[in-house]
Amino acid sequence: MLLLGGTLLAFGPRPHGKIPPGRVVVSYWEKWSGQEADPMRAVIEDFNATVGKEKNIFVEYVPMATVQYKTLAATAAGVPPDVAGLWPDQVVQYSLRNAAMPLDELAREYHIKPEDYKKVFWDMCRYQGRLYALPTTPAVIVLNYNKKFFYETADKLRAAGLDPTRAPQSIAEFDKYAQALDVYAPGTNRLIRAGYFTMEPTWYDTVQNIWFGGHSWDERTQKYNLLTPANIATFEWIASYSRRMGKQNLVDFQSGLGAFSSPTNPFLAGTVVMEQQGQWMGRLIDIYKPDMAQVIVPFGVEPFLPRVLRPFNYDWGIAAFPSNVPGVKDASYDVTDVLMIPRGARHPREAFEFMAFTQRQDQMEKLCGMSGKNSPLMATSDEYVYSNSNPYIDIYDRLAASPNARANDQTPIYNEALSLIEVAVQQVYLMQQTPIEALTEAQREIDKRLASQDELAAARAAWSSR
Amino acid sequence: MTAAPTTTATNTAAPALMAQPTIAAARPRPPKSGWGDIGKGLAFLSPWLVGFTVFTIVPIALSGYFSLCDYSLLDPPMPIGLDNYRALMKDQWFWNSMKVTAEYAILALPAGMLVSLGLALLLNRPIRGRAIYRTAIFLPTLVPVAATAMIWLWLFNTKLGLINYVLGKIGIPPVPWLTSPSVALPAMVFMSLWGVGYTVVIYLAGLQDVPAELYEAAELDGATGWRRLWHVTLPMISPVIFFNLIIAIIGVFRVFEIPLLMTNGGPARATQFIAMYVYDNAFLYVRMGYASAMAWIQLILVLILTGIAFWTSSRWVHYQGK
């Protein structure tokens, strides 16, 4: 033991060499590593060299995988980081259990106001009227479509009464485009290219009701209500694709799709023509399929192209995913990464000093700009839009600011309900159940779980007050 | 030859020699008490004992307590008696994950045992390049789990994968390995054979311990190859088979990383193993008490199954010299 102790003392971990003496070290855990972490590292460097230097604070960036689980364990153990880079579902999870520090007073002190933010992102940071987080880089899920295939299929599209020069604008129109863009192996019914494929990607299958104006969670009654006309219509829509393609085609086609972050990505490889994706698609194209981004001028010269012309240099376009609700335009599904201060953080004030720094327009634009994303702030500079590597950044920005931008439901059993809804979607997709059967079963399970959660919450309240 | 010093000898001219221990003193003395040696033994064991207590015994005991509580990690544990266990009995997805695990066990356990034993028997024969084959079969066990999952994702890909390419060459249509609920679990079983190298090595060690004279005696009695295997090899390596069986029983209840990385339990929870459901409840749904109850049921099942294996072992496991 002595030998082990001596060895640890002699060769064990040392404080970070570059921390200037006398500074309060703010430990910041975040999910981004490698190149993905570069934008936030740049912001931290700025902070440490300016505000941090002035106020004797040093932010130490600690990248890690599954940061949400590690923060959870560390918070339970009483040794959390000062700042944790998490997601909006942790806002509810932590605040319900008094495990996140409310930030309202500090936000007021630092002049951080709701009107400075796009509403959808600000609302994600709040729960039951209190502020628990601040946003960093947002994701706006929109329709991505392959313009090249639209042009190549122009005659067929026109014959179906569709315009090959623009994206579909209603769900009915979308379905017609999708069907016209499907390609089957000659002489067979084997699908080799899908106009649209329900399970590519699988990440948003639980929020498809957004395009139908549906809600799973009823804010007023604080209950889940899956069996609404809009939710049923959503599931019917999913089932319609399965029926049209056939069960064998579904599983065969899905099984042949390539990996997301690779040149075999179905959208890049041209296997799927239209899909729901976020801003990262631009970066993925730059890396794995740059020829999709040099229709007019070569990839390297593109930055010199006037901003308005840049979208024409691309084989791929984006648009708001069409809505089935008459009159609803610019709908999108939105999420954001957030910064939180977990309960028990040693330096909450210093942590907030850093968080407030990230919310400055110049820093936010640096962070989001380098990530190829739009800003969660209302104000954006022309320079930011012009220099952003994503040619469609202004569209993302507009959609996020729209009143039809939608976020995840804030519910006490969000992750469990999501898992159950996901099973329902998969069962309908695989034609194992009808939409009504799948929704009824999910509703029953969710009700059971919510009732149990409510009972436990009441029992805990009584237990705590003893 | 130097005379041995005696106990009575005095020699002022040679103090160093006088300091030599006497024959009587050099004779080992019986220990005064056994506790001194036990204390020393425990002291040497203490790093492991401390680690085992802190990182295994205490967490197991705590999980037993948490299984009787409503505990989210972020709140203090609130005792609720057997409510978690009662709720589990009504949880259809718990039963689904038990069913998936049981189906996997029924297929993967005998398949793994048979394939590894078969390979060991082949590699125990004097064939050319035996060392190369042995190395090749053991190598996959050294590949990290995440890398293994990535490799198999590609192998199973319908359009780009090697397996369907080979099947296509012999006229078999492409199989949707991981996207069809009826095929995904058998695909996992098939994939589990990738890691038999470790078991093969243990079988090989057992096979090399079988005395050659037993085979000679069997041959003299006219036993064929199959009879030699059935009446000599298998009984002689039965302790090794038993060991591998116990390890395999424990292993099937711990299947986690591969399905998590390859299918995340899908499609439609067709590959959601019990360990994955425990993990989801503990960390994703922050229901640590509920997850602990599940983990305890898992532990009890493993104990029952290994208990049955031990109970039946007296009938089919033969230890040399007994």
Tell whether A440 is within 8 A of chain B (Cβ): no
Residues facing residue A257 across a β-bridge: none
Tell whether A399 is within 8 A of chain B (Cβ): no
Q: What is the pLDDT of residue A122?
A: 97
Chain A residue numbers with beta carbons less than 8 Å from the beta carbon of B178 are 255
Q: What is the 3-state secondary structure (H, E, C) of A30-74?
A: ECCCHHHHHHHHHHHHHHHHCHHHHHCEEEEEEECCCHHHHHHHH
Count up the domains in chain B and report the number.
1
Chain A residue numbers with beta carbons less than 8 Å from the beta carbon of B175 are 255
Q: Is the pLDDT of residue B20 over 60?
A: no
Find the domain containing B106 and state its range: 90-316
Mutate to test the interface with B, among A251, A268, A450 (most CBs of B within 10 A): A251
Measure CB to CB from residue B285 to each of A99, A415, A459 and give the nearest one. Answer: A415
Residues facing residue A144 across a β-bridge: A275, A318
Tell whether B2 is within 8 A of chain A (Cβ): no
Q: What is the 3-state secondary structure (H, E, C) of A162-201?
A: CCCCCCCCEHHHHHHHHHHHCEECCCCCCEEEEEECCCCC
Inside any domain, residue B322: no
DSSP conformation letters of A246-280:
-HHHHHHHHHT---TTSTT-HHHHTSEEEEEE-TH
- Nearest 5°: CA angle at B305, between B303 and B307? 65
Question: How far B53 CA lies from chain A's nearest CA (Å)?
Answer: 16
| Nearest C-alpha in A relative to B165 | A256
Percent of chain A having pLDDT more than 70? 96
**Cβ A376 vs Cβ A336: under 8 Å:** yes
- The whole-angstrom separation of Cα A460 and Cα B79 is 10
Inside any domain, residue B46: no
Confidence of residue B29 (pLDDT cuts 50, 70, 90): low
Inside any domain, residue B27: no
Q: Is the pLDDT of residue B14 over 50?
A: no
Q: What is the pLDDT of residue A312?
A: 84
Q: What is the pLDDT of residue A293?
A: 84
Q: What is the pLDDT of residue B322?
A: 55
Q: Is the pLDDT of residue B28 over 70?
A: no
CB-based contact B153 A452, cutoff 8 Å: no
Average pLDDT taken over every residue of chain B: 88
Higher per-residue pLDDT: B2 or A186: A186
Whether CATH 3.40.190.10 fits A20-138+335-406: yes
Confidence of residue A356 (pLDDT cuts 50, 70, 90): very high
Q: Which of A51, A108, A135 is nearest to A377 (CA)?
A: A135
Measure CB to CB from residue B179 to each of A1, A254, A413 and give the nearest one. Answer: A254
Q: What is the pLDDT of residues A251-303, one digit of tens each?
A: 999 998 998 989 999 999 999 999 999 999 988 998 999 888 888 888 777 77
Inside any domain, residue B72: no
Mean pLDDT on A216-228? 94
Q: Is the pLDDT of residue B6 over 50?
A: no
Phi, psi (5° rounding) for residue A130?
Answer: -120, 155
Inside any domain, residue B286: yes
Listed ranges A340-344, B4-8, B39-43, B129-133; the one with the highest mean pLDDT: A340-344
Q: A195: which 2 tokens?
A: 């106009």
Confidence of residue B8 (pLDDT cuts 50, 70, 90): very low
Chain A residue numbers with beta carbons less than 8 Å from the beta carbon of B157 are 255-258
Q: What is the pLDDT of residue A389?
A: 82
Looking from the CA of B105 toward its CB, the CA atoms found within 13 Å total 22
Question: How far A192 CA lies from chain B's nearest CA (Å)?
Answer: 10
Chain B residue numbers with beta carbons less than 8 Å from the beta carbon of A99 are 74
Confidence of residue B3 (pLDDT cuts 50, 70, 90): very low
Mutate to test the interface with B, among A91, A202, A250, A252 (most CBs of B within 10 A): A252
Tell whether A413 is within 8 A of chain B (Cβ): yes
Tell whether A251 is within 8 A of chain B (Cβ): yes
Measure CB to CB from residue A1 to each of B46, B70, B87 and give the nearest one. Answer: B46
Q: B residues 267-296 near A, CB within 8 Å?
A: 267-269, 280, 283-286
Chain A residue numbers with beta carbons less than 8 Å from the beta carbon of B158 are 252-253, 255-256
Chain A residue numbers with beta carbons less than 8 Å from the beta carbon of B181 are 430, 432
Domain ranges of chain A: 20-138+335-406, 141-332
Inside any domain, residue B9: no
Measure CB to CB from residue B177 to each of A255, A258, A413 and give the nearest one. Answer: A255
Chain B residue numbers with beta carbons less than 8 Å from the beta carbon of A258 are 157, 160
Q: Is the pLDDT of residue A123 over 60?
A: yes
Q: What is the pLDDT of residue A311?
A: 82
- The whole-angstrom separation of Cα A94 and Cα A80 is 13
Residues facing residue B96 across a β-bridge: none
Percent of chain B having pLDDT more than 90? 75
Chain B residue numbers with beta carbons less than 8 Å from the beta carbon of A421 are none
Q: Do domains A20-138+335-406 and A141-332 have the same CATH topology?
A: yes
Counting one residue from chain A and one from chain B, the pairs whose CB atoms sit within 8 A come to: 92
Residues facing residue A377 across a β-bridge: A117
Q: What is the pLDDT of residue B223?
A: 86
CB-based contact A75 B286, cutoff 8 Å: no
CB-based contact A255 B159, cutoff 8 Å: yes
Tell whether B78 is within 8 A of chain A (Cβ): yes
Q: What is the pLDDT of residue B5?
A: 42
Q: What is the pLDDT of residue B282?
A: 94
CB-based contact B157 A256, cutoff 8 Å: yes
CATH code of residue B276: 1.10.3720.10
Average pLDDT taken over every residue of chain A: 92
CB-based contact B158 A255, cutoff 8 Å: yes
Q: What is the pLDDT of residue B16?
A: 44
Chain B residue numbers with beta carbons less than 8 Å from the beta carbon of A416 are 284-285
Tell whether A444 is within 8 A of chain B (Cβ): no
Q: What is the pLDDT of residue A90?
A: 94
The CATH label, of 3.60.130.10, 3.40.50.970, 3.40.190.10, 2.40.70.10, for the domain at A141-332 is: 3.40.190.10
CB-based contact B78 A459, cutoff 8 Å: yes
Q: What is the pLDDT of residue B273?
A: 96
Confidence of residue A386 (pLDDT cuts 50, 70, 90): confident
- The whole-angstrom separation of Cα A147 and Cα A150 is 5
Inside any domain, residue B57: no
Q: Is the pLDDT of residue B289 over 90?
A: yes
Inside any domain, residue B76: no
